[in-house]
Structure 1
Amino acid sequence: MIPLSTARRTIIDVDIHHNAPNVKAIFPYLPKEYCDRISEWGLLLPSYPYMNGGKGGRRVDANPPNGGAPGTDLDFMREHYLDPFHVEYGILTGEFYSLGSHPDAHYAAALASAYNDYTRDHWLDKEDRLRGSITIPKQHPLLAAKEIDRVGDDRRFVQVLVPGGSEKPYGNAIYEPIFEACVRHNLVFTIHIGNEGQGINPSPTGAGHVTYYIESRASRTQTMMAHMASLLFSGVFEKYPTLKVVMQEAGVMWIAPYLWKLDQDWKGLRVQTPWVKKPPSEYYRSNMYVSSQPIELTPDPALFVPMLDALYAKECLLFASDYPHWDFDSPRLAFPKLDASYADPIFYRNAANLYGLKPRTSSPDHT
């Protein structure tokens, strides 16, 4: 078991991975033709080609007593994580990103709808602390927008989730139907790392495919850099000024020097993108967020807080645990001890403001 937290403050965790116990659990939500296909051939979704960490990529101690896979048992998740760590709200991010890498967009759309309905019925209906992410077939933006419109009026779904692996960077105009649907329903657009180089997606790096998992992990930053620059310089936030974007699981500290570079380059090249009316760092501060897991610890502890300041952590950083994955970041251990002026926004207030959640119901204790 994870040790009981001694901190009395409640938190918001923006990255909790839930899942169905098996594929047949979503069959009640799928058309019969797809149930028959899956029963005969399996899901046939692109798979991750690398060994991960932990046990199958999960915490060794996260298996529920019923013998299911980690993240499939709500009662155990309550006991193992939500209750001992005082999670006031948890944002579910699921495990079904690979459907967005399948060449058959209509099959992907059916799977996305089934997964969203399963999440609603088996997780959101049973635990008031949880909020959901809308899984979409991002390879077909019109079908994706249709799914957002179908589910988006349920206010327990607070964001639209896409994987880092994509056919084009997310600032590309082909994704505008998705952004328009997000704005219609006041939903956050979240890019969670995953599926780079899989299925219909191109190579995960500019130099081609990598050999080992640790290389894949190291390349996440360049994937998110590409999406970030695309969103900024394509003018997405000028066209959709209320759209909020979250970048998940690609690290944190790279944001600061990258913003310095983007601002510097914009000053010299802004004639090429006249629709970008402000320095990139200003759009970042008003429209973008980054989640903390996995956060890099500076070799010199004295540099940690200045780096937080350089990436505007008091405004833009959200706590994420990545539970129940092997590289889970404990709310107690992932950060050095922080003053309340940093801990309150990072562990609660930023996410509450972003997702429209209630203020803390308990008094924070930062001692």
Structure 2
Amino acid sequence: MDTTDQSQASKNRKPKRSIIDCDIHAGSFSDEVLTYLPRIYREQIKTFGWRLPSQNAMYLNGTGGGAKQDENFPKEGGSASYLKYFQTNFLDKHNIEYGILTGTGSYSIQTIPDADYAAAVCSAYNDYGIDKLLSQDERIKGSILIPKQDPILSAKEIDRVGSNPDMVQVIVANGAEKPYGNRFYNPIYEACVRNNLPFAIHVSMEGIGTNPAPTGAGQVSHYIEYRAARAQIMATHLASFIFEGVFEKFPTLKVVMIEAGTLWIAPLLWRLDQDWKALRSQTPWVKEPPSEYYRKHFRVTSQPIEMPHKPTMFLPMFEAINADTNLMFATDFPHWDFDSPTLSLPKLDEELWDRIFYQNAAELYGLPQRRNQ
């Protein structure tokens, strides 16, 4: 995680080779998104507002959507002005070959009971992103926002835009009514496999709207506690995928875990492997150790990276989470806890650096090799 001094020091530094950033939050403009909605919802929104729960209302996460204070986004000109700023001040500045957008719309749409409204808003945000961002710069790739509260409608949306080559994954919030291994979600995974798209889980909406409390012990008081709880929920999803047998039903499915940290995965896998050996008779369909399912089916993004108090512990922990094949670099632009491509990780050997900063993501998302090797 960058400090202000680090950010200033790296102001003019770029990675020596281009990189793929796997977690970018692009701005959207409500008045433009409205034009993609059916008339009935446009009129409702103009009268009653968007009617979405707010995460920031419960847990203080900075102003301006949690953006870094040194980001001076244009206040006029809509998406065209925003795109120009984004290209110059982020993609060019940090030598981004490809950037994966994980948010043009709010995940809060996935926390409301009205699935039809959620489906319409998800479609509007997906079309907005394609028209205003993805089609304007070949470096920008998108994620399909779905109304996960209704898997049938979700599958319909995946099939609708999943053939667009610039849409490279399906995305949901970490907060959920049921763990993601539950068979309730199977129509979503069928559509992911049908369209050859990974299923991505991004931290957000834990304890918001229709979702249960962010911890097994109930609600928390402060944002720092809320951040700590994110890994617990992501760990629940990881275990659920494995022990509910999702990968036996969908052997080609890949799952991406975004912004929940990384190194906690190692002791979790150790424990899951140990428990599986003792309790495997309860889930006979789980044919391999959980760590093998993780290695084959999961990918994880780097931000926010945990730094051990002893530097010598870092590389062994990286090895324990299969960083050479399973870890993908992310900045979380433009948020306050942005990870600089040049400062966020300790010095790595050339091959490992290349795997984390480019190759792992290129393989997952089917992206070309660097233009300039």
Shorter-chain TM-score: which interval? over 0.9
Determine if the alignment matches structure 1 residue 79 to structure 2 residue 88.
Answer: yes
**In structure 1, what is the equivalent of residue 147 of structure 2?**
137
- Offset from partner CA, 1:14-52 (integer Å, 9 cap, x none): 10001312x111122101110111111111111111101
**Are the structure 2 counterparts of residues 295 and 71 from structure 1 closer, same or farther at C-alpha, using a change threshold of 3 Å?**
farther
Equivalences for 1:50-69 in 2 at 5 Å? Answer: 50-53=59-62, 56-66=65-75
**Are the structure 2 counterparts of residues 332 and 315 from structure 1 closer, same or farther at C-alpha, using a change threshold of 3 Å?**
same
Q: Contact 1:55–1:326 at 8 Å: present in 2 too? A: no
**In structure 1, what is the equivalent of residue 351 of structure 2?**
341
Equivalences for 1:7-22 in 2 at 5 Å? Answer: 7-21=15-29
Q: CA deviation at 1:72?
A: 7.9
Q: CA deviation at 1:63?
A: 2.6
Alignment match of 2:102 (pick from 88, 93, 105): 93
Q: Contact 1:20–1:72 at 8 Å: present in 2 too? A: no
**Distance of 1:88 and 1:310 partners within structure 2:** 28
Determine if the alignment matches structure 1 residue 172 to structure 2 residue 179.
Answer: no
**Are the structure 2 counterparts of residues 209 and 59 from structure 1 closer, same or farther at C-alpha, using a change threshold of 3 Å?**
same
* DSSP-derived class of the 1:125 partner: helix
Q: Contact 2:112–2:209 at 8 Å: present in 1 too? A: yes
* DSSP-derived class of the 2:93 partner: coil
**Distance of 2:77 and 2:337 partners within structure 1:** 20
Unaligned runs of 5+ in 2: 1-7
- Identity percentage of aligned residues: 55
Q: CA deviation at 1:80?
A: 1.1
Q: Contact 2:230–2:260 at 8 Å: present in 1 too? A: yes
Q: Contact 1:91–1:133 at 8 Å: present in 2 too? A: yes
Deviates more, 1:65-74 or 1:151-160: 65-74
Q: Contact 1:62–1:70 at 8 Å: present in 2 too? A: no
- Offset from partner CA, 1:275-312 (integer Å, 9 cap, x none): 00000000111110110010001111111111100110
**Distance of 2:279 and 2:200 partners within structure 1:** 28
Amino acid at match of 2:75: N
**In structure 2, what is the equivalent of residue 28 of structure 1?**
35
Q: CA deviation at 1:90?
A: 0.4
**Distance of 1:44 and 1:196 partners within structure 2:** 18
* DSSP-derived class of the 1:93 partner: strand
Q: Contact 2:192–2:198 at 8 Å: present in 1 too? A: yes
- Offset from partner CA, 1:101-124 (integer Å, 9 cap, x none): 011010000000000000000001
Q: Contact 1:58–1:70 at 8 Å: present in 2 too? A: no
**Are the structure 2 counterparts of residues 55 and 109 from structure 1 closer, same or farther at C-alpha, using a change threshold of 3 Å?**
closer
**In structure 1, what is the equivalent of residue 256 of structure 2?**
246
**Are the structure 2 counterparts of residues 6 and 117 from structure 1 closer, same or farther at C-alpha, using a change threshold of 3 Å?**
closer
Q: Contact 1:233–1:273 at 8 Å: present in 2 too? A: yes
Q: CA deviation at 1:317?
A: 0.2
**In structure 1, what is the equivalent of residue 206 of structure 2?**
196
Determine if the alignment matches structure 1 residue 109 to structure 2 residue 122.
Answer: no
Equivalences for 1:1-367 in 2 at 5 Å? Answer: 3-21=11-29, 23-48=30-55, 49-53=58-62, 56-66=65-75, 73-94=82-103, 95-363=105-373
Amino acid at match of 1:8: K
Q: CA deviation at 1:65?
A: 3.3
* DSSP-derived class of the 1:194 partner: coil
Q: Contact 2:74–2:81 at 8 Å: present in 1 too? A: no
Name the count of aligned residue pairs: 362
* DSSP-derived class of the 2:136 partner: coil
* DSSP-derived class of the 1:29 partner: coil
Unaligned runs of 5+ in 1: none
Q: Contact 1:246–1:288 at 8 Å: present in 2 too? A: yes
Deviates more, 1:23-32 or 1:255-264: 23-32
**Are the structure 2 counterparts of residues 343 and 51 from structure 1 closer, same or farther at C-alpha, using a change threshold of 3 Å?**
same
* DSSP-derived class of the 1:133 partner: strand
**Distance of 1:140 and 1:78 partners within structure 2:** 35
**In structure 1, what is the equivalent of residue 4 of structure 2?**
none
- Offset from partner CA, 1:228-281 (integer Å, 9 cap, x none): 000010011111010000001111110111100000000000000000000000
Amino acid at match of 1:7: P
**Distance of 1:302 and 1:71 partners within structure 2:** 46
Amino acid at match of 2:96: V
- What is the TM-score of this pair, normalised by structure 2? 0.94
